[in-house]
Structure 1
Amino acid sequence: MALGTVLMGLYQAGETAFPIALGLIVEHTLSENRSLGSLALSIAALAVIITTVSLSWRFGMRVLQKANTTEAHRWRVRVAGRGLEPVARDFGLKSGEVLTIATEDADQTADIIEVVPLLISSLVAVAVAAVALGLADLRLGLLVIVGTAAILSVLSVMSRRIGAGTREQQARVARAGAKVADLITGLRPLHGFGGNQAAFRSYRRVSADARHQSVAVAGANGAYAGVALALNAVLAAAVTLTAGRLAFQGRIGVGELVMAVGLAQFIMEPLRLFSDMPKYVMTARASAQRMALVLDAPAVTAPGSGRPAAGGDLDVDRVRFGTLRELTFRVRAGEFVAIAGYQPRAAADLASILALNVPPEAYAGVVRLGGVPVADLSVEAVREHLLVNPYDGEIFAGTLRTNIDPAGTSRLVAEAVEASMLTDVVALHREGLDHGVRDRGANLSGGQRQRLSLARALAADAEVLVLHDPTTAVDAVTEQLVARNIARLRRGRTTLVVTSSPALLDAADRVLVLDEGVITAEDTHRNLLATDEDYYSAVAR
C-alpha cells in the first residue's frame, strides 16, 4: 500500500503538473525573453512529466492490484479455515452465508487496499491544483479548497445511506445463498415427498427480497454518482469562469488563464475518484463487519495441546447427553467393535460426540483417546488419531480418486476401493478412478455415494475409525462383502461401527447393545441372536 500510494501520488502530481507546465510555456512564449533554448527545455520538461505519469501509473496499479488480490486471498483462506475448524463456532450463520462471506465479502474488504492509495493520490492532485491556482490568484485556490470540502460533505451524507443499504443487501444475498445450499442438500427428500414447489416458492421470496434490496442500493449508487458528477462539473465550471473573469480584468496573464482552464478540466478526474471513495469505504466496511461475525466469534470450546498414546484405547466414560444416560464402554486398541443402537437418535448422539460436533463441556462424562480426555487434545492430534465417518458423508465435485484421497497421500486407495465394493463403479467408466464426480455426487446413486464415502474413510487409514451406518444404502449381498472386507482391511486397527446391519454386527469381534441410552448387553452377534430375544427382534432380517 505504501509503495502504491507513492507511485499513484507521483502519477496524480505529474497529471496536475502538465497543465501547469503548459501555462508556464504559454506565459514564457508571450514574453519578450523567449528563445529556442527555452522552448527545447520546456519540451524536455513535458517529456519528463509524461514519462513520470506513464511509469508511475503502470507500476503503481500493478503493485496495488497485486496487493489487493493477495489480501483477498488471505481473507478467503482465513474465513475458510475458521469454517473448517472441527470445533464448532457459534456465529449464527449458515454454510451458504459463510460461503458468501469467504468470497464476495473477502474481495470487497480487500478493495480498501486500492481505495486508500487512490484516495490519497486524489488528495495530492487537488492540493497541487489548489496551490498552483492560489499562486496565480488566491481566490482561485480558495475556490478549489472550499468547493472540494463542500462536495465531500454532501457525498459523505449520501455514502452513509449507501453503506447501510449495502449491509442489508449483503445480508439478504447471503440468506439467499444459504437457502440455495439448504435446497441442494435436501433436493432428493424434497423430490420424495413432493415438496419441490413449496421449496421453490420459499427460495423465490428470499431471492426477491435480495433483488429488491439490490435494486434499491443500485438506485442509491446511481444517485450518488449523478450528484458527484454534477457537483464536480459545477466546481470545474466555477474555476473556469472565475479565471476567465480575472484574466479579462487583467489580474492574471494568458498563461495563467491556460493553466487555470487546464486544471479545471483535469481536477474533474481526481475529484471523481475522491468523491467515489466514501462509497467504496462504506462497502468495504460493511463486508468487513460481516467477516468479523465469523473471524471474531467466541469459540464454543478451546482445544487443548496434548497428544494421545499411539495405539491407545477409545473410552466413553459415564457420558450423558441427549438420549444417552451414563453411557460407558471401551474399545481396546486393535479391536473391531460394533454398537447395535435400538434407537436411531441415541446412535446419532453418540456419533456426534465422537465426531467432536458436541463440545466436551456440553455433555457430562469423559471421552478418552489413548487415555487422554479429548478436551485436552490438540486439533491436530484428534485429526491424526481419530476419524468419524458419518452416514451422510459429503461428496465433492472432482473425480473418484480426489474424493477417496483428497490429499493425494494415501497408500491404500486400491485396497479401500476393493473393500468398499466400489470396484463396479470404477470398472464402469473408461477413466476409472479419474471418472468425474459432480457436486454432492449428483451423477452417482445413493449406494454409490455411500460406498465412495466409505472408501475415503478406509483410505485415510486412521488409528481409530468410527463408522456410522456405512451400508444403509447398499443391497444385502454387497453389505455382506463390505462387512468382511472392512474387518480384513482394518485388522489390527481400532474400529467402532455404529450400525443395525447384521452383516457388520457379525463381522465384529464383539457387539455392544445400546438401548435407552445405556449399554444393556455385550457379546458376539451370534451369541446375542441365540440368547437375547429383543436383540433378535431388532436386528434379524
Structure 2
Amino acid sequence: MKTADTERPRQGTAILKTALRRNIGAMVAGTVLMGLYQAAETAFPIALGLIVEHTMRDRSLGSLGVSIGSLAVIITTVSLSWRFGMRVLQKANTTEAHCWRVRVAACGLQPVARDTELKSGEILTIATEDADQTADIIEVVPLLVSSLVAVVVAAVALSLADLRLGLLVVAGTAAILSVLAVMSRRIGAGTQEQQARVARAGAKVADLIVGLRPLHGFGGNHAAFGAYREVSTDAKRQAITVARVNGTYAGTALALNAALATAVSLTAGWLAFEGRITIGELVMAVGLAQFIMEPLKMFSEMPKYVMMARASAERMALVLNAPPVSTPGPERPEPGGALEVDGVRHGTLRGVSFSVAAGEFVAIAAYQPRAAADLAAVLAVNAAPGAYGGVVRVGGREIGDLSIDAVREHLLVNPYDGEIFAGTLRTNIDPSGRGREIAEAVEASMLTDVVALHREGIDHPVRDRGANLSGGQRQRLSLARALAAGADVLVLHDPTTAVDAVTEQLIARNVAKLRRGRTTLVLTSSPALLDAADRVLVLDGGVITAEDTHRNLLAGDAAYCLAVAR
C-alpha cells in the first residue's frame, strides 16, 4: 500500500502540500529560529527606547551597564538565530529540490513514455528550475511566519505606548498585503508562461545541437537558427513582461512600506509633541518604524514567491501526472525470438504484414525513409499499441500483452541516430556492465581501428554526444552497443549510412556472422546488408510489395535496382 508521501500528486497544490508535509520538522525548527531572529531584531529599538527612558530617569552607571548587556544579548540572539535558522531551512530546501528533480527525471526516463506533449528540453527545465522554485516554499512559509511575528511584536509594543500606533501598524500591514496579493497573482501567471517559453527555447536549441552537422550538410542551419531566434525572442519578450511586473510589485511594496513607516514616525512625533507619549517611547516608535521596514518587505514579498512556487509546481504536475502512453501487460514472450508484424497501420504504414522466423536475418528495403522510421517507432514501442492499427508479436505474444521489461529484454531496436554519452568507449558499448559480447561487437562493427588508434584502447574517453568522434565512428559505436547487448530479436535502423563502402561490406558480413542463430531485422538501403540477409522485403507505399533475395530482386525488379543500387 502506498503512503501519502509516495503517491503521485495530482496537481501543483498537492505537490506543494507534499513538500510542506515532508519537511514539517525542519520548517518548525526554522520558524522558531527565524521568529526568534525577527523578535530580537524588533526588540532592539524597544530596548533603545527603554534605555533612553531609564537613563534619563535614573542616570546611573548600573542602569547603563544592564542596558549594554541587554543589547549584547539581543545582538547575539539575532546573529545565532539567523545563522542556524537559515542553515536548517536551506538544507531542507536543497534536499527537497533534489527529491523533485529525481522524480521528474525518473518520469522522463521510464521505459514507458508519458503523454506529456513536452520535449526533452522542456522536461529538463522542469527538472531543474521548476524543481528549485517549488522547493522554495519550504523557506517561504517560515519566513512569512517570522515576519508576522515581527509585525505582531511591533504592534503590541506600540500599542502599549499608545493604542493608535498599534492599530496603525495592523491596519497598514493589512492594506499592504491586500494590494500585493492582487499583484502577485499576475506575477504567478506571467512566471508560468515565461518558464514555458524558456523551456520551449531550450528544447529548440537542444534539437539544434543534435542535428547541427546534418543541418550544415544541406545548408539548413540558417533557417534553423532563425527558428530558434524566433522562439528565444518570444521567451525574451515574456521575460521582460515578467520583469516589468516584478519591478512594479517591488516598487509598490517599497513605497507602501515606506509610507507606513513614515506614518508611524509622524504619528509618534505628534503624540510626543502633545505629551501623550514619553521621549523614550518616541525613540522606540521611530526605531520600530525603521526596523519594521525589513520584516514588512519580507512579508510583502512572500505572496510573490508563493505564486512562483505554485506556478512551478503546476508545471511539474504536467510531467508527474501525465498518464503513460500505454499500459504494459504482465506476460513474457515464448522462447525462440520470432517476430511478426500483422496489418500494422501507423503514419505512412498502410497495413504492413511480415514475419521473421527465429534465427532468421531479414532486411527491409523501404523506398520511403519515413516508412522505415514509422516501422522502427512501432517496434521500439515508441508508439503505443493502442495508437496504431494491427498487431506486433514477439515470441508468439502480442507486444501489448508483454511487460515492458520483457519487451526490452527480448527485443532491441537500435535507432539510426543512437545517442552517444560522455564516458568511454567501453561504457558506451556496455552501459550496464553486463555485456557478454563486447570484444565480438567491437570487431563486428569495425570499431577496432578506433580502439587501436588510442593508447587507452577501449577505455578511450568519449565526450558528450561523441563530440570527439567522427560521424562514422559514432555510428559504429552505436552499432557495437546494440550487438553487445545480445538481444534475442535485434532491429537495426540504417546502421551504416555514415561509413564507407568497404567498411560497410565488412560490417554486413560480420553482423550476419555474429547474429547467426538469432533473429535480426535490418531497415536499410545498403546493398551490402541487403545482400547479407537471408531474404529482403520491399516496403513501398506503406505495404510490403515484394519478397526475395537481394540478388534475385536486382535481377528481376527494375524499381528495386534503381532504389538500392549505388
Normalised by the size of structure 1, how large is the TM-score?
0.89
CA distance in 1, matches of 2:244, 2:368: 56
- CA separation of 1:237 and 1:300: change in aligned 2, threshold 3 A: same
What's the secondary structure of 1:300's corresponding residue? coil
Match of 1:8 in 2: 34
Match of 1:467 in 2: 492
Match of 2:374 in 1: 349
529-538 vs 198-207, greater mean Cα deviation: 529-538
426-435 vs 345-354, greater mean Cα deviation: 426-435
Are positions 1:204 and 2:219 aligned together?
A: no
Contact 2:337–2:410 (8 Å) recurs in 1: no
What's the secondary structure of 1:396's corresponding residue? coil
What's the secondary structure of 2:340's corresponding residue? strand
CA distance in 2, matches of 1:420, 1:448: 10
365-374 vs 515-524, greater mean Cα deviation: 515-524
Instruction: Deviation per CA, 1:440-477: give whole Å up to 9, x if none.
Output: 33443322221121122223333332111111221222
Query: Following TM superposition, by how much is the alpha carbon of 1:12 offset from its aligned partner in structure 2, in angstroms?
Result: 1.6
Query: Following TM superposition, by how much is the alpha carbon of 1:99 offset from its aligned partner in structure 2, in angstroms?
Result: 2.6
What's the secondary structure of 2:431's corresponding residue? coil
Are positions 1:141 and 2:166 aligned together?
A: yes
CA distance in 1, matches of 2:483, 2:504: 16
Contact 1:387–1:462 (8 Å) recurs in 2: yes
Contact 1:5–1:60 (8 Å) recurs in 2: yes
374-383 vs 126-135, greater mean Cα deviation: 374-383
Instruction: Deviation per CA, 1:463-503: give whole Å up to 9, x if none.
Output: 33211111122122211221232233334443322223333
Instruction: Deviation per CA, 1:360-397: give whole Å up to 9, x if none.
Output: 01222221223332212333332333221111222334
Query: Following TM superposition, by how much is the alpha carbon of 1:97 offset from its aligned partner in structure 2, in angstroms?
Result: 2.6
CA distance in 1, matches of 2:532, 2:77: 78
Match of 1:305 in 2: 330
What's the secondary structure of 2:80's corresponding residue? helix
CA distance in 2, matches of 1:220, 1:519: 60
Are positions 1:368 and 2:377 aligned together?
A: no
CA distance in 2, matches of 1:508, 1:68: 58
Q: Superposition pairs for residues 85-234 of structure 1, below 5 Å?
A: 85-234=110-259
CA distance in 1, matches of 2:354, 2:459: 41
Contact 2:364–2:521 (8 Å) recurs in 1: yes
CA distance in 2, matches of 1:130, 1:306: 69
Match of 2:16 in 1: none
CA distance in 2, matches of 1:308, 1:20: 78
Letter in 2 for 1:19: P
Query: Following TM superposition, by how much is the alpha carbon of 1:518 offset from its aligned partner in structure 2, in angstroms?
Result: 4.4
Letter in 1 for 2:126: I
506-515 vs 224-233, greater mean Cα deviation: 506-515
What's the secondary structure of 2:341's corresponding residue? strand
- CA separation of 1:380 and 1:128: change in aligned 2, threshold 3 A: farther
CA distance in 2, matches of 1:452, 1:251: 87
Match of 2:13 in 1: none
Are positions 1:266 and 2:261 aligned together?
A: no
CA distance in 2, matches of 1:171, 1:326: 39
Are positions 1:21 and 2:21 aligned together?
A: no
Match of 2:271 in 1: 246
Contact 1:316–1:330 (8 Å) recurs in 2: yes
What's the secondary structure of 2:492's corresponding residue? strand
Structure 2, unpaired ranges of 5+: 1-26
Letter in 2 for 1:462: A
Letter in 1 for 2:45: P
Contact 2:337–2:518 (8 Å) recurs in 1: no
- CA separation of 1:262 and 1:406: change in aligned 2, threshold 3 A: farther
Match of 2:14 in 1: none
Query: Following TM superposition, by how much is the alpha carbon of 1:234 offset from its aligned partner in structure 2, in angstroms?
Result: 2.0
CA distance in 1, matches of 2:293, 2:442: 66
What's the secondary structure of 1:52's corresponding residue? helix
What's the secondary structure of 2:325's corresponding residue? coil
Are positions 1:58 and 2:83 aligned together?
A: yes
Q: 2:508 aligns with which of 455, 480, 483?
A: 483
What's the secondary structure of 1:330's corresponding residue? strand
Contact 1:86–1:356 (8 Å) recurs in 2: no
Query: Following TM superposition, by how much is the alpha carbon of 1:515 offset from its aligned partner in structure 2, in angstroms?
Result: 4.8
Structure 1, unpaired ranges of 5+: none
What RMSD, in angstroms, separates the aligned Cα atoms of the two structures?
3.0
CA distance in 2, matches of 1:229, 1:270: 12
Letter in 2 for 1:167: Q
CA distance in 1, matches of 2:81, 2:434: 47
What's the secondary structure of 1:93's corresponding residue? coil
138-147 vs 448-457, greater mean Cα deviation: 448-457
Match of 2:261 in 1: 236
- CA separation of 1:143 and 1:103: change in aligned 2, threshold 3 A: same
Contact 1:395–1:439 (8 Å) recurs in 2: yes
Letter in 2 for 1:461: G
CA distance in 1, matches of 2:267, 2:86: 35
101-110 vs 39-48, greater mean Cα deviation: 39-48
Query: Following TM superposition, by how much is the alpha carbon of 1:126 offset from its aligned partner in structure 2, in angstroms?
Result: 0.9
464-473 vs 178-187, greater mean Cα deviation: 178-187
- CA separation of 1:175 and 1:240: change in aligned 2, threshold 3 A: same
